[in-house]
Amino acid sequence: MSDQERKEDLAPLLQNGWDMVDGRDAITKRFTFRNFVDAFGWMTRAAIWAEKWNHHPEWSNIYKHVDVTLASHNVDGLSARDVKLARKMDALAEK
């Protein structure tokens, strides 16, 4: 992504709770749900999109929290694919 694309694409994500990872060109967010079942259901829906787009997150789940980190290993940093998956994860969390 160009500097301009990064600025335009990341701004709405950063306003929606995503943060830059210190020391790494990646974004991270903690999603919090009502309970474990809702968290796991969201992970399942997100996993289907991740597999469809062949772009897999780094994530962990503890009870009702899911911590996600997105970066594209093939470019050693952020790419448009990370932005696309982050947007989808946000949309899935709103349902």
Task: Tell me the two tokens of residue 92.
Answer: 């899935």
pLDDT (tens digit, 0 to 9) for every residue of the chain, 95 residues total? 788 888 999 999 999 999 999 999 999 999 999 999 999 999 999 999 999 999 999 999 999 999 999 999 888 899 999 999 999 999 999 97
Range of the domain at 16: 3-94
Rounded Cα distance between 64 and 34, Å, is 6
| CATH code of 71's domain | 3.30.1360.20
Rounded Cα distance between 80 and 71, Å, is 10
Q: How many domains does the chain have?
A: 1
- The beta strand positions in 1-95, using DSSP E, are 19-20, 27-32, 58-62, 65-70
Closest CA to 5 of 90, 78, 85, 86: 78
